[in-house]
Structure 1
Amino acid sequence: MNILDKIIADKRQEVALKKQLITSSQLTKYPLFNRNTNSLATALKNSKSGIIAEHKRRSPSKSVINQDLNVQDVARGYENAGVCGMSVLTDSKYFGGSLDDLILARASVKMPLLRKEFIIDEYQILEAKAHGADVILLIAAILSREEIKNLSELAKSLELDVLLEVHNLEELEKSIMPSLDMLGVNNRNLKTFEVSTDISKSLSEKIPSDFVKVSESGISSVEAIQDLKNYGYQGFLIGENFMKTNDPGEAATSFINTLNQ
């Protein structure tokens, strides 16, 4: 069993328990459930930088990245830096995040927030909406085409943007459907955790132009983004590069200023 299999097995248990504690109908009564969402896809189309900055405390591949900062300060720093949106890890066991992080970020900023989670159940999409997300992530590696269709259509009915993440051509081909806004290519192999932007480059021409192309993971230089822009990418998810510093907002500001020069 690889790390992804372990995460999903744990996630199924976690979701089953959560459903016993808070019902789906209770989630729809949360104050944030009816707020108007902000489109990340639109923000990326209208941006010069295309940066989606991440809040991530730790990961299975890197152990501790940064446990010392509070999410509100990180969110405000990113927004002041001019990023297009913020990705908030909500998995607790493997990434040290929580839905509280999403609520605290939502209370601090107006920019689009992506709930970064291993979504396997419609319940988690209701959770995302109830806790202030504007965007959800779906991972093709853990979902069938039918599941991607059902989950993305539910998200769209709730006015949430959908970022679908793929790692190879097979995942991409099974995933293309109108209920997606963005197609993300993860440069990290989820089984080996090796990283290379060559994956984004090789898949770029296979992604229809109807979708905003997003490159994820392993992006640490302005040169890498300038290179990927030549392949039609408009979004760039950056996590550890900012989070490993003492001031992620300042790191993002400096990075974006250099990129826009």
Structure 2
Amino acid sequence: MSKDILEEIIAHKRIEIAGQEKVVSAAFLEKQLGEPVPARSLKQALMASPTGIIAEFKRRSPSKGWIHQDADAGKIPAAYQQAGAAALSILTDEAYFGGTLKDIRTARPTVSLPILRKDFIISRYQLLQAKLAEADAVLLIASALTPQACRTLTCQAHELNLEVLLELHGEHELEYLTTGPDVVGINNRNLGTFHTDVTHSLKLAEHLPKHLPRISESGIAHPETLKQLRQAGFNGFLIGETFMKTEAPGETLRNFIQTLGL
């Protein structure tokens, strides 16, 4: 897959957000906020968890197509929590991943774990959406933002009591660590080609600050890989497809944790 999928997704996202704002203004969303509500801390959940697993709810991906088309957001996140997940990641991009903000709103009453809104965040409008949907954290992708845009969005997220997971992919993005994230993640999947290589996390581990929880994202299919990453200093492990491609994602997670011996 030689096409730069990230560039395509961001271009589509700009059009999508503009359309949403025409229907529901940012000012209207602001009025719905009320008093700031403390979020469940993704950072604290990861540091306290014996597994550090952020179990992801997603139906499809640009590279694999449909993974679990009829996945129920009212059941799978709750099953993840019961199985021992530290936190939840819910994809809300519809065009490429088959998710919506409704998935967070559906899952929220069924779980007490922190929920990460995983999307291609490029606008404060999306932060307002995340807060109103009762997400606790948002993903900011370095390769989709300039350092200044990332810093601005991080500040705006914090004003809304949302934590920020900053996603990096290579050494050239380490400068983004100065933007003030709560958690840093290394995406083992190249968002331009969607090729996955877990050694990205291992190579970058020594460059990451000690005071931030570290998450390895994508391509973690085996408990032994997680153990290797934990030995390299990672506290969190974002895993989706490994669970979602099965009939019962929660049970698959439970078995995965049992194999870890935790």
Which TM class, normalised by the smaller chain length?
Answer: over 0.9
2:93 aligned to 91, 94, 106, which one? 91
Structure 1: where are the runs of 5+ without partners?
Answer: none
Question: Does the 8 Å contact 1:52/1:236 carry over to 2?
Answer: yes
Give aligned pairs, total.
260
Question: Is 1:248 equivalent to 2:224 in the alignment?
Answer: no
TM-aligned CA deviation for residue 109 of structure 1: 1.0
Question: Does the 8 Å contact 1:38/1:111 carry over to 2?
Answer: yes
Question: Does the 8 Å contact 2:43/2:183 carry over to 1?
Answer: yes
- Residues 152-176 of structure 1 show CA distances to partners (whole Å, capped at 9, x for unaligned) of 011111111100001100112x201
Q: For 1:111-150, what aligned pairs fall within 5 Å after superposition?
A: 111-150=113-152
- Residue matched to 2:201: 200
Q: For 1:5-20, what aligned pairs fall within 5 Å after superposition?
A: 5-20=7-22
Letter paired with 2:127:
I
Q: 2:35, 2:45 → 1: CA distance?
A: 21
Question: Is 1:175 equivalent to 2:181 in the alignment?
Answer: no
Q: 1:260, 1:171 → 2: CA distance?
A: 35
| Matched residue SS, 1:94 | helix
Quick check: 148-157 or 24-33, which moved more? Answer: 24-33
Q: 2:90, 2:238 → 1: CA distance?
A: 11
Question: Does the 8 Å contact 1:165/1:186 carry over to 2?
Answer: yes
2:160 aligned to 158, 168, 189, which one? 158
TM-score, scaled to structure 1: 0.96
| Matched residue SS, 2:50 | coil
Superposition CA RMSD, Å: 1.4
- Residues 93-146 of structure 1 show CA distances to partners (whole Å, capped at 9, x for unaligned) of 000000111100112211100000000111111110011100100000010110
- Residue matched to 1:58: 60
CA distance 1:61–1:33, shift in 2 (3 Å): farther
TM-aligned CA deviation for residue 32 of structure 1: 8.6
Q: 2:249, 2:26 → 1: CA distance?
A: 35
TM-score, scaled to structure 2: 0.96
TM-aligned CA deviation for residue 197 of structure 1: 1.0
Q: 1:196, 1:4 → 2: CA distance?
A: 17
Q: 2:242, 2:35 → 1: CA distance?
A: 32
TM-aligned CA deviation for residue 231 of structure 1: 1.1
- Residue matched to 2:215: 214
- Residues 20-47 of structure 1 show CA distances to partners (whole Å, capped at 9, x for unaligned) of 1112232234379844310011000111
TM-aligned CA deviation for residue 178 of structure 1: 5.8
Q: 1:239, 1:184 → 2: CA distance?
A: 15
Question: Does the 8 Å contact 1:27/1:33 carry over to 2?
Answer: no
Question: Is 1:190 equivalent to 2:187 in the alignment?
Answer: no
- Residue matched to 1:258: 259
